[in-house]
Amino acid sequence: MILLSKIALLLQKIFWDIIYSGYTAKYGLPKDFKFNGVGTVIKGNGRLIVGNNTYLGRNSYLQLKEGTTLHIGSKVSISHNVYIYTSNKVADQDLSQQQLVKNAEDVTIQDNVWIGAFVFIKEGVTIGENTVIGAHSVVNRNIPENCIAAGNPCKVIKKKSEAS
């Protein structure tokens, strides 16, 4: 039984290595970009620009609407189960209609950002440099640089001190 578990884990790793190689080729990810675990999905024909020394945790989801760009800076740590969307349906409309209106906007995550687990980042958002986004946050507006932000909706909890 233990041998079968080890074989299953090895096959899972091989499967995701193949998927991640395809993402790396399609989106031109840097050689030092790291998929940190299995289950991460990148979907869409938008642009993905990623800086150096950045990683994306397991079971995360990047949605890249055609005509939009997701820009992730250098030294960005994105934890597990993080969802980043460049497009979303507009809530204030008649949802019984067949053709629903969608927003599609770029998302920018600047350098040296840490995004906690289970965060949702909405289209049109910029997260400033040297910022921390707390776990389980819903980022639906721009977050400035050098701060710690969290919540639903995400808001600045405190500015980082100069000494840190």
All domains of the chain in start order, with CATH: 2-159 (2.160.10.10)
Two structure tokens written together for 75: 């030294």
Identity of residue 77: S
Count CB atoms within 10 A of the CB of residue 48: 20
Worst-scoring range by mean pLDDT, 35-39, 82-86, 109-113? 35-39
Q: Give 41's contacts (C-beta < 8 A, 6+ positions apart).
A: 60, 61, 62
Decide: 46 and 69 in contact? Cβ < 8 Å.
Answer: yes
Q: Sign of torsion, CA 95 97 99 103?
A: negative
Beta pairing partners, 148: 132, 158
Identity of residue 3: L
pLDDT value of position 44: 96
49 pLDDT higher than 80: yes
Mapping DSSP to helix (H, G, I), strand (E, B) and coil, where does residue 115 land? strand
12 pLDDT higher than 60: yes
Strands 61-64 and 83-85: parallel
18 pLDDT higher than 60: yes
Q: What is the pLDDT of residues 105-153, one digit of tens each?
A: 999 999 999 999 999 999 999 999 999 999 999 999 999 999 999 999 9
Does pTM top 0.85 for this prediction?
yes
Average of pLDDT values for 33-58?
97
Average of pLDDT values for 28-33?
96
Q: Specify the long-range contacts of residues 8-15, CB closer than 8 Å, at least 24 apart.
A: 12/38, 13/38
Q: Residue 8 has what DSSP assignment? A: H
pLDDT confidence bin for 99, thresholds 50/70/90: confident
pLDDT value of position 162: 64
In angstroms, the CA 148 to CA 59 distance is 24
Decide: 106 and 86 in contact? Cβ < 8 Å.
Answer: yes
Mean confidence (pLDDT) of the chain: 95
pLDDT value of position 161: 85
